[in-house]
Amino acid sequence: MTAGSLLAWRPGRLLTGIAIALAIAVLIVSLLATLWIAGQRFPTTGSNVADIGHLVRMSAIQAGISTVLSIATGIAIAWTIDRLRFPGRALVIGLLSTALVLPALVVVSGLVGIWGRNGWANAVLGLFGQSTGGSIFGLGGIIAAHVILNGAFAGRIFIDRLAAIPPEKLKLGRSLGLSAGRRFAVIDAPALASSIPGLAATIFLLCFTSFPIVLTLGGGPANQTLEVAIYQSVRLDFDLGAAVKLALVQLLVCAAIIIPATTLSPAATLFGRRTQIVWPERRAVSLMQAGLLALLLIGFIAPLAVVLMRGLGPAMGSLLSQPAFWRATGTSLAIGTLSALLALALALGLAMARAMMAGNRPARAALGLPVFTYLAVPAVVLSLGFFLLARFLGIPTAMAAPVVLVIANALLALPFVFAALAPPLEALLNRHARLIRALGLSSLTQWRRIEWPLLGQPLGYALAVAFVFSLGDLGVISLFGTSEFSTLPWMMYRAFGAYRTNDAEAIAAVLLILSVTAFVGIPKLFEKLTHA
């Protein structure tokens, strides 16, 4: 008997999950279809995108390497931080996934500030007459950037999984005197396993489609992604049909990654209360972990420190006195909050339905697929699709803009929210399945008595990710007519575009502070709420 069949049968939950999955599928299909239909109306010179096979291969290799390294890095981070206790630990954890959600321009700027030829690393090495030698631009730079962004995110998710290992397991392991290696293999690895496929799929998609980072750090047209080609057929050639075709190619490639990931993902089993047990490693291992921690701080936190230091200059004062800044902040916060709640609701709906399907692989795939689909569609195609769809539905574009932004951001954040939420939810349900059955709890009581109180930490983190994602993203409404409507990232790009680098850097620092506050504050808040 599989664990899934022990779960109480909840048709309401299943139907909600199916409805969400269908709604997302319908949305994506309509977006592509409107674009395709519109494409038939325009004469086109024909987009001739050279060598799609080559582009796909290049992107896939880059994304594959980035994904493997990110997951490995994430495990190393989680392994280190799980074992060590040091002042500022909560802040370091809060900072970990911040880079992922900041606008690419900010991230690249921070990275280059450390590793560029004029960066801190060379400044420090220069004191000893050395230099970093290599350049951050090129395939190496792209992969480094992706690993720093996604490795930290993976690490953040893994830390939670390790923290949720039931204390009795740890006590038993300690009394058996497991070595560091055995301990990882026997206790840690099973706790991490259920999160890896979903995370890997998310990270692969992110690296596969990553457009600004690849372009900026790419060092030239040799390193390109399919997404850039799609951008060209839309913008320059206005060949919408070709754009849809390329988008479908990208979707297919991504599906080849997503379907196995969602189907094969093992059902999560380990879930316990946040444990206070500290079981430090032997001295040699601890020293190694301290070394890793130092590397981590340099690699992951220093670029953010650069962003902060550049931003906290005199420009900050004048920025804070601009009404436009406060309007943009208000809009960003409102959109962030709405999209975060929507993303959380969608992820919960899908995850609850999926948890009931433990033994049923096709059903798991069907409920997991919509989570990632949106990420696999190029932003420029989504942007045009939404624009045409709004017109088709007769909604004036300026009015549709905020609604589209909320929906788009929620869907964009969905894989990340899902990665944070689905494995713990599933583990929790499996652990308490017998109890729920025996007590004959209703769906609502199950939520109020079991899921809500025990999921505080992941819920809080999931909400924080979704919230900050929406603060940082702006890609999708470029056609919507937005001079009156501004968000913080938008204002930042405008400032950069108007030579106002100081203003832009100050806004970047504000975005960073908001993100860290959300990442530290929202999970804390949820822990309080759920334990009340």
Partner 1 sequence: MVRVIRTSLYAAALGALALPAIAQDTPTLTVYTYDAFAADWGPGPALKEGFEAQCGCTLDFVSAEDSISALRRVQLEAETTRADIVLGLDTATIGEGMATGLFVEHGLDLPAFDIPLDWTDEVFVPFDYGYFAFVYDTETLATPPASFEDLIALPDDFKVVIQDPRSSTPGLGLILWIKALYGDGASDIWQGLAPHVLTVTSGWSESYDLFLSGEADMVLSYTTSPAYHVIAEDEDRYQAAKFTQGHYTQIEVAGILAASPDQELAREFLAYLVSPQAQAVIPETNWMYPVTEPEGGLNPGFDAMIDPQPALLLDAEAVTANTRAWIDEAFAALQ
Q: Which of 101, 375, 495, 516 forms a contact with partner 1 (CB under 8 A)?
A: 495
Please, which residues have CB within 8 angstroms of residue 43's CB and are 6 or more apart in sequence?
none
* Per-residue CA distances from 468 to 248, 391, 409, 480, 519 (Å): 29, 29, 10, 22, 8
Total residues binding partner 1 (CB under 8 A): 67
Using the rule CB under 8 A, is 215 a contact of partner 1? yes
Residue pair 369/488 in contact by the 8 Å Cβ criterion: no
Using the rule CB under 8 A, is 38 a contact of partner 1? yes
**Smallest distance from the beta carbon of 228 to partner 1, in angstroms?**
7
Q: Which of 28, 75, 96, 112 forms a contact with partner 1 (CB under 8 A)?
A: 112
Using the rule CB under 8 A, is 479 a contact of partner 1? yes
Using the rule CB under 8 A, is 318 a contact of partner 1? no
Site string for partner 1, 146-185 (x = CB under 8 A): ----------------------------------------
Q: Find the radius of gyration of the CA atoms of the chain.
A: 23
Residue pair 271/428 in contact by the 8 Å Cβ criterion: yes
CA distance 333 to 384: 25
Segment 328-347, which members bind partner 1 (CB under 8 A)? 338, 341-342, 344-345
**Smallest distance from the beta carbon of 445 to partner 1, in angstroms?**
17
The per-type count for the chain, helices as H runs and strands as E runs, is 27, 0
Q: Which of 2, 15, 29, 48 forms a contact with partner 1 (CB under 8 A)?
A: 48
Q: Which of 198, 218, 303, 336 forms a contact with partner 1 (CB under 8 A)?
A: 218
Using the rule CB under 8 A, is 498 a contact of partner 1? yes
Using the rule CB under 8 A, is 453 a contact of partner 1? no
Residue pair 10/357 in contact by the 8 Å Cβ criterion: no
Site string for partner 1, 382-401 (x = CB under 8 A): --x--xx--x---xx-xx--
Candidate segments 4-12, 243-251, 440-448, 493-501, binder of partner 1 by CB under 8 A: 493-501
Q: Which SS3 state, helix, strand or coil, does residue 262 take?
A: helix
The beta strands (E) that lie in 237-341 are given as none
Using the rule CB under 8 A, is 381 a contact of partner 1? no
Using the rule CB under 8 A, is 228 a contact of partner 1? yes
Please, which residues have CB within 8 angstroms of residue 360's CB and are 6 or more apart in sequence?
4
Residue pair 232/159 in contact by the 8 Å Cβ criterion: no
CA distance 489 to 491: 5
Residue pair 424/271 in contact by the 8 Å Cβ criterion: yes
Residue pair 154/73 in contact by the 8 Å Cβ criterion: yes
Q: Which residue in 430, 478, 366, 502 sits closest to 8, CA to CA?
A: 430
Q: Which of 67, 202, 209, 232 forms a contact with partner 1 (CB under 8 A)?
A: 232
CA distance 82 to 190: 15
Of the pair 264, 398, the CB lying nearest partner 1 is at 398
Of the pair 112, 365, the CB lying nearest partner 1 is at 112
Residue pair 415/372 in contact by the 8 Å Cβ criterion: yes
Using the rule CB under 8 A, is 237 a contact of partner 1? yes
Q: Which residue in 321, 356, 341, 319 sits closest to 14, CA to CA?
A: 356
Using the rule CB under 8 A, is 109 a contact of partner 1? yes
Q: Is 266 exposed, middle or buried (0-12, 13-18, 19+ CB in 10 A)?
A: middle
Q: Which of 4, 74, 94, 116 forms a contact with partner 1 (CB under 8 A)?
A: 116
Using the rule CB under 8 A, is 219 a contact of partner 1? yes
Of the pair 202, 409, the CB lying nearest partner 1 is at 409
Neighbour count for residue 434 (Cβ, 10 Å): 12
The sign of the CA dihedral 383, 389, 395, 396 is positive
Using the rule CB under 8 A, is 117 a contact of partner 1? yes
Using the rule CB under 8 A, is 452 a contact of partner 1? no
Site string for partner 1, 241-280 (x = CB under 8 A): ----------------------------------------
**Smallest distance from the beta carbon of 403 to partner 1, in angstroms?**
6
Residue pair 113/306 in contact by the 8 Å Cβ criterion: yes
Q: Which of 220, 314, 317, 440 forms a contact with partner 1 (CB under 8 A)?
A: 220
Candidate segments 22-30, 465-473, 486-494, 513-521, binder of partner 1 by CB under 8 A: 486-494
Of the pair 150, 224, the CB lying nearest partner 1 is at 224
Using the rule CB under 8 A, is 403 a contact of partner 1? yes
Q: Which residue in 425, 421, 160 sits closest to 274, CA to CA?
A: 160
**Smallest distance from the beta carbon of 384 to partner 1, in angstroms?**
8
Using the rule CB under 8 A, is 456 a contact of partner 1? no
Please list the alpha-helical segments (H only) found in 176-211.
Answer: 180-183, 189-193, 196-209
Q: What residue ranges bind partner 1 (CB under 8 A)? A: 38, 41-42, 45, 48, 50, 105, 108-109, 112-113, 116-118, 135, 137, 211-212, 215-222, 228, 231-232, 234-238, 324, 338, 341-342, 344-345, 384, 387-388, 391, 395-396, 398-399, 402-403, 406, 478-479, 481-483, 486, 493-501, 504
